[in-house]
Chain A
Amino acid sequence: VPVFPWHSLVPFLEPSQSG
């Protein structure tokens, strides 16, 4: 049975982008 890491479920959003 494959096991997936928790952080693969939520988006990685980089807050340092300006805008």
Chain B
Amino acid sequence: PAPAPCNPSHFMKGAIIQLATGELKRVEDLQTQDFVRSAEVSGGLKIDSSLVMDIRGSQQRPGLVSLHFTVGEQQSKVTIDVPPEHPFFVFGQGWSSCSPERTAQLYGLACHHLQVGDMCVSITLQQQP
């Protein structure tokens, strides 16, 4: 039997998401501009582009996937371990995961297949001048 995954319900199809503008949207209706505008008005948060460099099974945590990113203008290398069904938002494409089938099963959220070369939306703290 599969272990019960941690299912953040904000990825469930139909989940209501509040943008920084105050606007409410369903998670499946979000578009790139919603993230970009939200970051602009949020004050303190900044959208970064995180390029997927490599996708492989996690060495430390079986069942998880290690995603290797280069983040932002500095192209810092960051690796995170996530369940294969975890959705990421790809610029100009929308929700994408390593296992769109599992994402559909667990969340009902339609996803593209996340691939090396995809540019994901991530957030970071805005640099104070």
Contact = CB atoms under 8 A, between A and B. Distances in A.
A9 B89 contact: yes
B18 A6 contact: yes
A8 B120 CA distance: 14
Q: Chain B: interface residue count, which band?
A: 35 or more
Nearest to B75: A15
A10 B45 CA distance: 12
A5 B18 contact: yes
Interface of A: 1-19
Interface of B: 8-11, 15-20, 24, 27, 30, 34-35, 38, 42, 45, 48, 50, 69, 71-74, 76-78, 80, 88-89, 120-125
